[in-house]
Amino acid sequence: MSIDLTQRLKDRVAIITGGASGIGFATAKRFAAEGAFVVIADVDTATGEAAAAEVGGAFRLVDVADEAKVNALFDGVAEEFGRIDIAFNNAGISPADDDSIETTELPAWDRVQDVNLKSVYLCSRAALRHMVPAGRGSIINTASFVALLGSATSQISYTASKGGVLAMSRELGVQFARQGVRVNALCPGPVNTPLLQELFAKDPERAQRRLVHVPMGRFAEPAELAAAVAFLASDDSSFITASAFVVDGGITNAYVTPL
C-alpha cells in the first residue's frame, strides 16, 4: 500500500504565527505541500503577504502580544474558513539587549516575555476555544533546546521564556488530551535562520561557541524543523502530546563533542 504524504494535511486549516520567515515560513511551505490551507500571521505585511502568496494561503497582520488582536485572528479564521485544525505558535524574538542577567534590563526582559511567552498563552487559549468544541486539533509551540539545558551564551529572558513555553505546553497537553487536542513543544537546536545569522554576524565568537557543542557539526536548516512540525501537526503523531519534541542535532545529549 502506498502512502501519499502530500495529502497528510489535506483540507486542514493551519495558523502559523511568525510565518513570514525562518522556521515559520519553511513550515508554511511544508504544510501547503502536504495539503493544508495556511494562514500566515506576522507583524511584517510585505513579507507576510509575499509568503502567503507563495504558499497559496492567506495573510493576517497581528501583534501576538495583543490579546484583542490574537482573538480577532483566531476567531476570524474560524469564522471565515469554518475550522482551525493546527496552530503553530512560533513567533519569537531574540534581541541583542537580552544578554546576561547582569546586563539585561527590565524593558528588554518584558519585551521578550511578551512576544515569546505571553503570545503562546494568548494563541493557545484562542486556538483551544475552537478546537475543544470540535474535538480535534494540534497545537505546536516553539520552545528551544535552552528550555532543557543552560546556555553557554546567555540570553536570560529568551531562555526563561522558552522554559515557560515548554512547561505550559506540557500542562496543556495533559489537560486537553481527552478532549481530542494535542499540544506539544518543539525544541529546536540552533537553526540557520535570518535571526540567528544576524545575531552571530555581530559576534562570530558566540556562533562558534554554539556550533562546537552540536555533534552534527552544523546548525539545522529551517526545512528540517518544518518536517518535524508537519509530523506533530499530522495524524502520524496521534499518540504524542505534552512532549518536548527535540530537534537539535544531538546538542542536549552531548557530554563531549566529536572533533
DSSP 178-193: GGTEEEEEEEE--B-S
Q: Which residue has the higher pLDDT, 183 or 6?
A: 183
Q: Is the per-residue pLDDT at 213 higher than 90? A: no
| Cα 215 from Cα 168, distance rounded (Å) | 29
Helices 156-175 and 106-113 cross at an angle (nearest 10°) of: 30
Give helix then strand counts, H and E, for the chain.
9, 7
Q: Is the per-residue pLDDT at 258 higher than 90? A: no
pLDDT, position 154? 86
pLDDT, position 38? 98
Place of cell 479564521: 77
Q: How confident is the model at residue 257 (pLDDT cuts 50, 70, 90)?
A: low
pLDDT, position 205? 74
DSSP summary character for residue 187: E
Domain ranges of the chain: 9-191+222-245
What is the mean predicted confidence (pLDDT) over 150-157? 87
Query: pTM for this one?
Result: 0.94
| Cα 88 from Cα 19, distance rounded (Å) | 9
Q: Which three cell numbers mark 25?
A: 515560513
First vs last Cα of the chain: how many Å apart? 43
Q: Is the per-residue pLDDT at 234 higher than 90? A: yes
Say how many residues make up the chain: 259
Q: Which amino acid is at 121?
A: Y
pLDDT, position 212? 79
pLDDT, position 200? 67
Contact 210, 152 (CB under 8 A): yes
pLDDT, position 86? 99
Q: Which three cell numbers mark 175?
A: 489537560
Q: Which one of the listed residues 25, 59, 109, 158 is annotated catalytic?
A: 158
Helix extents (H) in the chain:
22-33, 45-55, 67-81, 106-113, 119-134, 156-175, 194-202, 204-211, 222-233
pLDDT, position 153? 78
Tell the CATH topology of 9-191+222-245. Answer: Rossmann fold (3.40.50)
What is the mean predicted confidence (pLDDT) over 170-197? 92
Q: Which residue has the higher pLDDT, 63 or 199?
A: 63
Q: Which three cell numbers mark 13?
A: 486549516
Q: For the stretch 184-213, what's the b/e string if a residue is b when 16 or more beta carbons lie within 10 angstroms of its beta carbon?
A: bbbbbbbbebebbeebbeeeeeebeebbeb
DSSP summary character for residue 236: G
pLDDT, position 203? 72
The verdict on whether 255 is a catalytic residue reads no
Nearest to 117 by CA among 147, 154, 152, 145: 147
Give residue-wise pLDDT tens across range 111-148: 999 999 999 999 999 999 999 999 999 999 999 999 99
Q: How confident is the model at residue 151 (pLDDT cuts 50, 70, 90)?
A: confident
